[in-house]
Amino acid sequence: MAQRLVPKVSLCALALAVICIAQAKELTQTHMSLYLQDIAAGPNATLTTVAGIAGKLWTFTQFGTVFVTDDPITETPDPNSALIGRLQGIYVTSELNGRNTHVSVSIVFVNKKYNGSTLELQGNSRQFEEVREVSVVSGTGKFRFARGYATFETYFLDQPKAYSVLRCNVTVHHN
């Protein structure tokens, strides 16, 4: 009985490999640069702390601090430029020394070209690096089955106003 099973399993594995190769040839690569308008204080804050360790300050460098974000994403660094979508999700300061943050966010598109589609980003972000990279692990709509990476870099920072603009460069392969 085991001898009859081996050819069937091999045939199934071969068929699956052929399907995967055929689908891989059909993938589209998309590259885009997006600008996140991040406001960390005041009545119009788009980023806020929601949890942390009792008795500790809830800051970006304090292990265990959890942040929620809903940043507008614009076409250019100018906050008045066309709205592309929103970056929604959570950040958790996940290294004991406060240098790394775990990112789990969605880019939710609202513009005409990708309206209703999303990209799901996840990974370890080294907060104090000039360029931080995370994985694109999935997507919906036009980005179904997306895989790739995204980099974040601080484009503009106004610490007294708790306002920053982050450039997000995304490269994805998708159907």
Domain at 116, CATH number: 2.40.480.10
Does some domain include residue 49? Answer: yes
Which residue in this structure is represented by tokens 């990974």?
123
pLDDT for the residue numbered 143: 97
**Is the pLDDT reported for residue 152 higher than 80?**
yes
**Is the pLDDT reported for residue 18 higher than 60?**
no
Number of domains in the chain: 1
Does some domain include residue 6? Answer: no
Does some domain include residue 18? Answer: no
Does some domain include residue 109? Answer: yes
Give the confidence band of 28 by pLDDT, cuts at 50, 70, 90: very high
The string of pLDDT tens digits covering residues 99-145 is 999 999 999 999 999 999 999 999 999 999 999 999 999 999 999 99
**Is the pLDDT reported for residue 49 higher than 90?**
yes
CA distances from 92 to 31, 122, 175 (A): 27, 11, 31
Do the Cβ atoms of 109 and 103 come closer than 8 Å? no
Instruction: Give the domain extent around 85.
Output: 28-174
pLDDT for the residue numbered 87: 98
Worst-scoring range by mean pLDDT, 8-17, 21-30, 136-145, 157-166?
8-17
pLDDT for the residue numbered 121: 98
- Please give, one letter per residue, the 3-state secondary structure of the chain: CHHHHHHHHHHHHHHHHHHHHHHHHCCEEEEEEEEEEEECCCCCCCEEEEECCCCCCCCCCCCCCEEEEEEEEECCCCCCCCEEEEEEEEEEECCCCCCEEEEEEEEEECCCCCCCCEEEEEEEEECCCCEEEEEEEEEEHHHCCCEEEEEEEEEEEEHHHCEEEEEEEEEEEEC
